[in-house]
A and B are shown apart, each in its own frame.
Chain A
């Protein structure tokens, strides 16, 4: 099977991992190009800036149609539709109830990148940002997620929305799973722990550094 897309990728990036994870869950082959985000700051090189002026990672270039996507939510949507078409349970975009809920989750995921993601970069790589402010914002996000997942639990649901995992879950998973990298532990968040375990138990789940495999399932 040929590669569905090329991914300009960094192994430690939670955002890049969203794509790697989804590709693994879908068994979707892709071509990976490692970009030396740190310590080389290669995402700011001329070559990468001409591909993506925003200078962010990941960047996806689709094989069919050669689309260049620079937003992970767009990449997740592309992958879901490429895999299963409009009926894909991963992205029920036009379902009147689930569609908007998934959009909520995708937006929430972006907020996690900007809070926990930043706090993590600061804690691990001494990124020049206000790590304490990012961590405080991250805690607010974790609490909001705990509330949402508790609501869902009351309704008998396991995922962000509906009865099947969606790209909303994938948009939120990496930085929540990695929040201990920034000193934000999961103690006191039982609904989040339950949900993290559910994602990690999915067939085809792939890890990244900081997220261990479930050895009990081996």
Chain B
């Protein structure tokens, strides 16, 4: 059953700022969760008062409601010296947690949804890239992904081709490794940790590990918030709400390799929470 599978993952439930605001209630996998305590000592309980296990990782508090949780993945870049770690709070979206992840993995929407920021017409072509399932940790990886962003000033010719790698270490987490040619040694890590409140609503917690000592902190957070809020109005308008896993229901193209692999990978794992699996 999809819920049984989903219960045995770890999910973000809070960050330092939200704990400082005091006790609150939230939802995880359809059930009410009580969040209180401090970042050093978070207190997470289910509706019956049972204490849930927690761990602090990637500047967030994680919990699980499963009795045999799979180990939480690692993002080793987060420990590299010189990186700025930037948690961005959360954004609530009325969409399937799986649709939120799939949107994060997609680049063909850049010219239309993140216009003049991540892409612009007429530079809409997506060149072939590589997708694989890395069996060692059973993760989806997309590599050799690139996208062209023309320069903002109309008078300036040329632009930047950014290199992207995407990684899905768990059904509701996506990690992006982004490299811009001017600074090839400064690969940015941008992630979303998706907390499924239900199959049709989620709290998305973005987190970044960057090599950038110059930009003010608030600007870094707000750039990420801007990108995500641009996606939110798309996410809340996709139908069916749940992610179809039957390949006949929605039509992919070659630029959708990552999404196709992600859907197949979910199906293989039995990770149906937030998915339409009736026709399978």
Residues in A lying within 8 Å of B, measured CB to CB = 10-12, 34-36, 38-42, 123-126, 128, 180-181, 183, 207, 209-210, 212-213, 215, 218
When distances are taken between beta carbons in the complex, the residues of chain B under 8 Å from A207 are: 115
Q: What's the least CB distance linking A167 to chain B, in Å?
A: 25
Given contacts A10-B222, A11-B222, A212-B113, contact A39 B229 (CB under 8 A): no
Contact of A181 among B217, B218, B225, B233 (CB under 8 A): B233
Residues in B lying within 8 Å of A, measured CB to CB = 15, 17-18, 21, 24, 26, 87-92, 94, 112-113, 115, 121, 203, 216-219, 221-223, 225-230, 232-233, 236
23 A-B pairs (CB sep. < 8 Å): A11-B223, A36-B218, A39-B15, A39-B17, A39-B18, A39-B87, A39-B88, A40-B218, A41-B21, A42-B218, A126-B24, A126-B26, A126-B92, A126-B203, A128-B24, A181-B232, A181-B233, A207-B115, A209-B228, A210-B230, A210-B233, A213-B115, A218-B121
* Cα-based distance from A212 to B233 in the complex (angstroms): 9
* Cα-based distance from A78 to B194 in the complex (angstroms): 43
* Cα-based distance from A189 to B195 in the complex (angstroms): 34
Among A10, A34, A183, A212, the most chain B Cβ lie within 10 Å of the Cβ of: A34
* Cα-based distance from A10 to B219 in the complex (angstroms): 9
Q: Are A41 and B17 in contact (CB under 8 A)?
A: yes
* Cα-based distance from A42 to B15 in the complex (angstroms): 16
Contact of B226 among A11, A38, A212 (CB under 8 A): A11
When distances are taken between beta carbons in the complex, the residues of chain B under 8 Å from A213 are: 115
Q: What's the least CB distance linking A127 to chain B, in Å?
A: 10
Q: What's the least CB distance linking A117 to chain B, in Å?
A: 15
Task: Return the chain B residue nearest A122 by Cβ.
Answer: B92
* Cα-based distance from A183 to B93 in the complex (angstroms): 11
When distances are taken between beta carbons in the complex, the residues of chain A under 8 Å from B18 are: 39
* Cα-based distance from A215 to B230 in the complex (angstroms): 15
When distances are taken between beta carbons in the complex, the residues of chain A under 8 Å from B223 are: 11
Task: Return the chain A residue nearest B121 by Cβ.
Answer: A218
Q: What's the least CB distance linking B203 to chain A, in Å?
A: 8
* Cα-based distance from A125 to B216 in the complex (angstroms): 22
Among A36, A181, A183, the most chain B Cβ lie within 10 Å of the Cβ of: A36
Q: Are B91 and A210 in contact (CB under 8 A)?
A: no
Given contacts A39-B87, A40-B17, A124-B92, contact A12 B225 (CB under 8 A): yes
* Cα-based distance from A85 to B90 in the complex (angstroms): 43
* Cα-based distance from A218 to B230 in the complex (angstroms): 19
Pairs A-B, 7 closest by C-beta atoms: A39-B89, A209-B229, A34-B218, A36-B218, A39-B17, A11-B222, A34-B219
Q: Are B221 and A209 in contact (CB under 8 A)?
A: no
Task: Return the chain A residue nearest B91 by Cβ.
Answer: A124
Q: What's the least CB distance linking B59 to chain A, in Å?
A: 11
Q: What's the least CB distance linking A134 to chain B, in Å?
A: 15
Q: Are B222 and A125 in contact (CB under 8 A)?
A: no
Q: Are A125 and B218 in contact (CB under 8 A)?
A: no
Given contacts A12-B225, A39-B17, A218-B121, contact A34 B216 (CB under 8 A): yes
Q: Are B115 and A210 in contact (CB under 8 A)?
A: no
When distances are taken between beta carbons in the complex, the residues of chain A under 8 Å from B26 are: 126
* Cα-based distance from A187 to B149 in the complex (angstroms): 34
When distances are taken between beta carbons in the complex, the residues of chain B under 8 Å from A123 are: 92
When distances are taken between beta carbons in the complex, the residues of chain A under 8 Å from B87 are: 39
* Cα-based distance from A39 to B223 in the complex (angstroms): 13
Task: Return the chain A residue nearest B205 by Cβ.
Answer: A39
* Cα-based distance from A124 to B94 in the complex (angstroms): 9
Contacts beyond the supplied A11-B223, A209-B225, A210-B230: 18 A-B pairs with Cβ under 8 Å:
A12-B225, A34-B219, A36-B221, A39-B17, A39-B87, A39-B90, A39-B221, A40-B221, A123-B92, A124-B229, A125-B89, A126-B24, A128-B24, A209-B227, A209-B232, A212-B115, A213-B115, A215-B121
